[in-house]
Homo-oligomer: A and B are copies of this chain.
């Protein structure tokens, strides 16, 4: 029997790494008349469902995926976050599998 776990992987440029998308956002703030916003960093957020025996096993799969496929470890950092309330798992987790 296995259970569905929903995770998010947040991938952000490491400190010191150039972030042209972040600079572009900062450059647009003036046109919107928005003051006081700084240190903008633009990264990716990947949400996914893992079918595994327990949360530890699921998290190990997500960690491998994050480091080998979803991020570039030279220039990006990632953080894994459990997001329980995903619509794709509601009513399905652990039922009759």
Contact = CB atoms under 8 A, between A and B. Distances in A.
A47 interface: yes
A59 interface: no
11 contacts: A12-B47, A15-B87, A32-B65, A36-B52, A37-B50, A37-B61, A38-B48, A38-B51, A41-B46, A43-B44, A43-B45
Contact of A68 (B15, B32, B64): B32
Nearest to A40: B48
Q: How many copies altogether?
A: 2
B48 A45 contact: no
Interface size bracket, A side: 35 or more
Interface in A71-90: 86-88
Contacts of A48: 25, 37-41
A46 B10 CA distance: 10
Interface string A1-43: 0100010101110010000001001001100101011111111
